[in-house]
Structure 1
Amino acid sequence: MFAHTLTQELMRVLERPDLRVIAGERRIMLDPALALPFRILPDGAIVLGMPTQGQQEVTAFYLRHALELAALLETAPDRPICAAFCAARTAALFWYLDSGRQDADAPAPWVSRMAGANPPPVQALAEIWSCLAPLQPPPARAGNGDDMTRLHDALPGLWPLLGPTETLMATGGDARLSIDPATGLNHYGCSHRPRPWAITFASSTASSLSERGFAGAEKARLSLLAGALHGRVEAAASALDAGIQDRLAAHFGLHADEGVVLAPSGTDCELYALALATLAPGGRPVGNILIAPEETGSGVPLAAMGCHFANDTARGVAVTGGALIEGFPAHTLVANVPMRDAEGHVRAPADVDAETCRVAHEMRRAGRHVLLHRLDLSKTGLLAPGLDALEQACQPDAVTGDCPDVVVDACQARLDPARVRAYLDRGWMVMVTGSKFFTGPPFCGALLLPAGVRRRLDGPRPVPVGLGDYSYRSAWPAGHALAALPDGHNIGLILRWWAALSEMAAFSAIPRAVVHDRLSGFLTAIEARITADPLLELLPLAAPRRPLLENAWDCLPTILCFFVRAPDCTGGGFRPLALAQARRLHAWLNTDLSDIVPADDPDAALASVLCHVGQPVPVAHPGLPGAIAGVLRISAGARLVSGEPSHEGMDPTGRLRREAGNVGRILDKVGLILRHWSRLSSADPVQTYLPHGWRARAILPA
């Protein structure tokens, strides 16, 4: 990457994990005599000039611009002017994202214009070109009026596709994906950029990208843009969608007559499963039986009724949350089977199985087509109902021959692909995501269809028309039933899935026995650490009960849940944090508290350490009668097993020992927060992408 001597400031910028991934092996040089911010050489090398020297934000902006332009000129050497404006658009959006302020003074006069919602007018394009042309490899085209007119005609079609990977990945989901400019993080407290300085065990909720995942998404983005620059955007996007479906089919062992539906989230998967249940033979009203919806997703009960579960959809359509989606029948009946009792204890599996069978038989006697759920796994690692109970509930009707549909909620993806194959062999649909165990970015899901359900898409009845507000036809297997779905592609979903696929590939390369051993050793150490801490109370572990499989790692409880003692709890009893307090603790763990915690605290060094764990789950606790406690979660994800680029060169045993030590740092920070709870409550600090002051020092810790 490097040639000649680079300034210390530029070296710091090049150490940024996002820019390091984008730069790859490209040659980058510094020429103090160059009066331009940069220039691209004919061989694709980048020469940075003196205007790049100053604030690190400005240096990062010009480097990001140069990297984008160099890549696009290689992709479309016959369209240098269009490539230049596409690169400028991406750089402009990067500036406002990176600075964290929409009112930040831009380093170039064209930045605000190129960051707008619409392309600039022709005259403005000509003015901007006068700034961009000198950056091109010599000899740069002068650009005349006809060039600007053609460019102006082309840019509207390109505009939605332009932007940094981390910006585009925040689209095509819902508001929870949006990055807060003040923090650099989304609703889940994670980033679409790599964040290797944070200690992260949040895979039961959502994770920031690793450098591996970021590289996968960046490669997909450039592939899409290459197609767009050559007038083949539809073919490029279709190839990316199909590539995701093919790779998921290969990973989970799908057959040619089965199918993959791409979905932004598990909640969308629930809606899709209901839509497919309405297409079952007989046209009977659906009875939908959910298992512990309080331990899945907050919008699942609404989606299970065919109702809008938010006020906007993944396609950006404004809807009314709670209202019935057009085309879904109003008579869908939803029943919930809880997995915990009123005190938060796990119900006996036999009781859950019996209730599931009873409700299913009642619905079938009432003339309903039943959609049964198997939860594999819940937010706290629970698995139900049992396979025997589902087989009993799914016996064909003696008169009509109707059988219930079953959908397995495996959105946590904490199971071996062989288990998924076994579910499909039973004729059951399976929901999966790349955003939980696999540690891909949030909001990338899929519904896997067995052959019998897949064939419904070839039938005469269409899916509910309102499904078109949520999904494009390209996300589904081909079928006549999908004719009403719109053309197009969810670009954010495509990039998020390609990021997740990079993590899935790395995990799949590890033999099952090695996966088991690495997870088992780590989980044993963490369980002992939590159990020994008087400030914590481990939620009883529930190891998933599964059929025998050699070296089965998915029989291990990979989500460790724990209550935290309330700061004002004294005496011999244990009173946990209420849910609202647990949510504050969760956020403060992911926050630099060094400006608030006194320097004389023995653990003061931990105050600046950013720690991201699974969001609190509401669970009753006998020590908190009349209220709901919140359990935090330490989750073992795929990256724990496969490592990540920032771990390169580390011995696996030493790396796992370090990971266990990092969990100890998280738990020690919990104690630090509890000691200074009142002080923190008054200050109410907010999470940030970086610890305080790192922009002024270095990007990566020593």
Structure 2
Amino acid sequence: MFAHTLTQELLRVLERPDLRVIAGGRQIMLDPALDLPFRILPGGAIVLGLPAQGQQEETAFFLRHALELAPLLELAPHNALCAAFCAARTAALFWYLDTGRADTDAPAAWVPEMARADVPTPGALRLIWPLLAPLQPAPDHDVAPDSFVALHARLLALWPMLGPTENLMATGGDARLAVDAATGLNHYGCSHRPRPWAITFASSTASSLSERGFAGAETARLSLLAGALQGRGDATARQLDGDIQARIAAHFGLTGDEGVVLAPSGTDCELYALALAGLAPGGRPVSNILLAPEETGSGVPLAAMGCHFANDTALGHRVTRGARIAGFAEDTLVINVPMRDGAGHVRPPADVDAETCRLTWRMRRAGRHVLLHRLDLSKTGLLAPGLAALEHACAPQAGEACPPDVVVDACQARLDPLRVRAYLDMGWMVMVTGSKFFTGPPFCGALLLPAGVRRRLDGARPLPVGLGDYSYRHAWPVGRACDVLPQGHNIGLILRWQAALAEMAALSAIPRALIHDRLQGFLTAVAGRITADPALELLPPVAPARPVLDNAWDCLPTILSFFVRAPGSTGETFRPLALPQARQLYAWLNTDLSDLVPADDPDAVLAAVLCHVGQPVPLAHPNLPGAVAGALRISAGARLVSGEPSHAGMDPTERLGREVRNVGQILAKISLILRHWSRLGHAAPVQTYLPRGWQAQAILPA
């Protein structure tokens, strides 16, 4: 990747996981006599000059600019002018993302102009060009003024897809994907850049990318940009949409008459399932029966009614949360079946099954079409209703135009692909995501359609017109019902799914028996550590009740939920943290607290360790009457099984032992935080992408 002439300073920058992935095998050299930040050689090698040897932030900026320009010149060798400005746009956005400060003096005069939301005017482009031209393999300052008018028009079309992968991946979802410039993290406390120094067991909520996932997204971004530069941007995006659908279909064993709908989130999948239920034969009003909505996405009950579930949509449209989406029926009913009682205990499965069947038959006798959910799994790993109950609830009824639709909420994706295939064989829709168990980035979902439901898209009745605020036509299988949707592509969703598919491919290469053994060993060890800690109370893990399958790893409870004892709580009675305090603890675990914890604390070194776990789930607790407790989660994800590039060279047994020790560090940091709760509460520390200081590799999990 680099020549031996590089300085130690540049080597430290090249050790950044994002830049290391982007650099790949490209040759990088240093020429202290070069008075330019860098120059691209005719063969594609990068020569870094004296200006690139400044502060690490500036060095990273110049290197990122060079690493963008070099491949673009290879992708568009006859359009060097456009390639230069595309690379400058990406570099400018990288600078502000990387520093997190809008008021920082930029390392090049053109950076503020190229970072603006709008394309610079032809006149501004002409003034910038002499600053960019010397960086080219064959510098050419003499460009006709009219060329900048044509360039401006070209950049208008390219502007939405220009930027670093980590910027573009934050688009096409909702406000929760936006990166906070002050922290470098999104609403979920994770990053679209690799973050291997953080201890991460947050796959029940969301995960930062691994180097593997980042590479998958980066490859897709360059493919999209290459197509756009060569005048076939729409065809390239359509090809990538189709590739994602085909790879998801192959992973779960779909056949040619079935289909995949790409969705930004599991909540969008819920909306799409309702729309398809509305196309069922008979045209009856829909009753939507949800299982434990409090343990699914927060917007699911609204989406289940056909209502906007946020104030913005994945395509950037401003809407009113709670308002009916155009085209969805106002007589839709939503009925909830809880899976826990008022004290937070899991209800007997027979009770949940009986209530589900009773409600389904009541709705059917009332002349309504039922959309019935099977939750596989909830935020705390619950599975319901049982297969026998679903079979009874959906038994044919004389004179009924169409039996109930069933949709399986498998958004956690904690199940073997053969289970998904079995669900489809029953004629059921299945919601999946690449962002939970598979540890892809948040906001990449898909709705899998059995053949019978897929055929509804061929009919004359269109999908609700309001879905056009949420989805593009090419995210769906081909069908007349989809003609109401707009043309276009969700670039952020494409990149996120490509990242997730890289993780799915890595897991698929592991034999099922090995997946089972690695998960079982980890979960047994971690459950023992949580149980032995007097500051914690483990919720009894519930093993999913599934049909027999050889070496079935998905019968293991891969989400371990636990309460944390409230500070100052003493005696034998365990009083847990209430939900607001559990959320504080969750955030502080993911925060460098080294300047707030006294140095004489025996565990002070853990204060700087960043720990990302599953967001607290609101649950009742018998020792917290009148309030809701928050249960944190340690979740086993796909990367625990398949490893990641930062684990290269480690023996699998050694690596899994390290993962268990990392959980021990999380638990020890919880105790550290509880000891200094008051001090931390007054300081109100915030999460950050990096711990303090640049040398994050120095505190990689041991």
TM-score under structure 1 length normalisation: 0.99
Paired position in structure 2 for 1:431: 431
Taking the aligned partners of 1:407 and 1:599, their CA distance within structure 2 comes to 53
Distance 2:473 2:444 in 1: 17
Distance 1:452 1:290, change over 3 A: same
What secondary structure sits across from 1:650 in the alignment?
A: coil
Aligned residue for 1:262, secondary structure, equals strand
Are 1:90 and 2:85 counterparts?
no
Provide the rounded CA distance (Å) in 1 between the counterparts of 2:139 and 2:265: 48
**8 Å contact kept, 1:15–1:699:** no
Q: Find the residue that maps to 1:612 and give its secondary structure.
A: strand
Counterpart in the other structure of 2:12: 12
Q: Is the 8 A contact 2:260 2:446 kept in 1?
A: yes
Q: Counterpart in 2 of 1:36?
A: 36
Give the whole-Å Cα distance in 1 for the aligned partners of 2:676 and 2:167.
Answer: 36
Q: 1:502-651 counterparts in 2 under 5 A?
A: 502-651=502-651
Paired residue type of 2:255: H
For residues 560 and 153 of structure 2, the distance between their equivalents in structure 1, rounded to whole angstroms, comes to 55
1:82-481 matched pairs, under 5 angstroms:
82-140=82-140, 142-481=142-481
How far apart in 1 are the matches of 2:339 and 2:135?
62
Q: In 1, Cα distance between the equivalents of 2:103 and 2:317? A: 28
Q: Deviations over 1:236-260 (max 9, x none)?
A: 1001100000000000000000000
- Distance in 1, matches of 2:27 and 2:634, equals 41
* Identity over aligned pairs, percent: 79
Measure the CA separation in 2 of the matches of 1:606 and 1:320.
44
Following the alignment from structure 1 to structure 2, what is the Cα–Cα distance between the partners of residues 353 and 684? 45
Deviation readout 1:625-666 (Å, 9 max, x if unpaired): 111100000000000000000000000000000000000000
CA distance in 2, matches of 1:563, 1:414: 22
Amino acid across the alignment from 1:646: S
Q: Distance in 1 between matches of 2:696 and 2:337?
A: 53
User: Hey, what does 2:673 align to over in structure 1?
Assistant: 673
The answer to whether the 8 A contact 1:614-1:632 is kept is yes
Check the 8 A contact 1:12/1:699 in 2, yes or no: no
Contact 2:38 2:48 in 1 (8 A): yes
CA distance in 1, matches of 2:275, 2:434: 22
Say if 2:282 and 2:401, in contact at 8 Å, map to a contact too. no
Letter in 2 for 1:678: S
Superposition deviation, residue 147 in structure 1 = 1.8
SS across alignment from 1:483? helix
Letter matched to residue 453 of structure 1: V
Whether the 8 Å contact between 1:16 and 1:700 is mirrored in structure 2 is no
The superposition leaves residues 429-471 of structure 1 with CA deviations (integer Å, 9 ceiling, x where unpaired) of: 0000000000000000000000000000000100100010000
Q: What SS class does the counterpart of residue 207 from structure 1 fall into?
A: coil
CA distance in 2, matches of 1:259, 1:182: 41
Find the residue that maps to 1:29 and give its secondary structure.
Answer: strand
1:113 Cα shift? 0.6
Output the amino acid matched with 2:80: P
Mapped to 2, the partners of 1:144 and 1:504 lie a distance apart of 49
Runs (5+) with no aligned partner, structure 2: none
Distance in 2, matches of 1:612 and 1:124, equals 44
- Pick closer, same or farther for the CA change 1:62–1:44 going to 2, 3 Å: same
Partner of 2:683: 683
Asked whether the 8 Å contact 1:56–1:695 carries over to 2, the reply is: no
Worse-matched range after superposition: 140-149 or 202-211: 140-149
Q: Which amino acid aligns with 1:555?
A: C
Amino acid at match of 1:60: A
Amino acid at match of 1:277: A
Output one character per residue of 1:543-600: Cα deviation in whole Å (capped at 9) or x when no partner.
0000000000000000000000001101111000000000000000000000000000
Report the Cα distance in structure 1 between the residues aligned to 2:99 and 2:695, rounded to whole angstroms.
11
Contact preservation (8 Å) 2:291, 2:373: yes
Instruction: Write the distance in 2 (CA, Å) between the matches of 1:415 and 1:144.
Output: 60
Deviations 1:137-189 (A, max 9, x none): 02546322122121111110000010000000000000000000000000000
Which deviates the most, 7-16 or 184-193? 7-16
Q: Is the Cα–Cα contact under 8 Å of residues 198 and 701 in structure 2 kept in the other structure?
A: no
Matched position secondary structure for 2:357 = helix
Which letter does structure 1 place at the counterpart of 2:265? S
Which residue identity is paired with 2:363?
M
Deviation, 1:123, is 1.2
Contact 1:438–1:503 (8 Å) recurs in 2: yes
Q: CA RMSD in A?
A: 1.1
Moved more, 118-127 or 451-460: 118-127
- CA deviation vs aligned residue, 1:357-382 (integer Å, no higher than 9, x gap): 01101111111000000000000000
- For residue 397 of structure 1, report the CA deviation from its aligned partner: 1.7
Distance 1:232 1:323 in 2: 38
Q: CA deviation at 1:102?
A: 1.4
Given that residues 16 and 699 in structure 1 are in contact (C-alpha distance below 8 angstroms), is that contact kept between their aligned partners in structure 2?
A: no
C-alpha separation between the residues in 2 aligned to 1:620 and 1:700? Answer: 36
AA at the equivalent of 1:386:
G
Spell out structure 1 runs of 4+ moving beyond 4 A.
695-702
Amino acid at match of 2:611: C
CA distance 1:699–1:669, shift in 2 (3 Å): closer
Tell me which moved more, 668-677 or 121-130: 121-130
What is the identity, as a one-letter code, of the residue corresponding to 1:397? Q
Residue identity opposite 2:619 in structure 1: V
| Deviation sequence 1:301-336 (CA, Å, 0-9, x none) | 000000000001000000000000001000000000
Distance 1:351 1:186, change over 3 A: same
Q: Distance in 1 between matches of 2:180 and 2:58?
A: 21
The Cα of 1:699 is off from its aligned counterpart by 9.2
Aligned partners of 1:12 and 1:698 also within 8 Å: no
Letter in 1 for 2:208: S
TM-score, normalised to structure 2, is: 0.99
- Residue of structure 2 equivalent to 1:2: 2
After superposition, give the CA deviation of every residue in 1:368-422 in whole Å (9 maximum; x if it has no partner).
0000000000000000000000000101221224200000000000000000000
Runs of 5+ consecutive residues of structure 1 not aligned to the other structure: none
Question: Is 1:79 equivalent to 2:84 in the alignment?
Answer: no
Q: Structure 2: which amino acid aligns with 1:409?
A: D
CA contact (8 A) 1:204 1:436 kept: yes
CA distance in 1, matches of 2:76, 2:629: 57
Contact 2:662-2:701 at 8 Å conserved across structures: no
Aligned-pair CA distance for 1:7:
1.5
AA matched with 1:142: D
Distance 2:279 2:663 in 1: 48
SS in 2 for 1:371: strand
CA distance in 1, matches of 2:436, 2:143: 49
Aligned-pair distance for 1:697? 9.4
Contact 2:130 2:141 in 1 (8 A): no
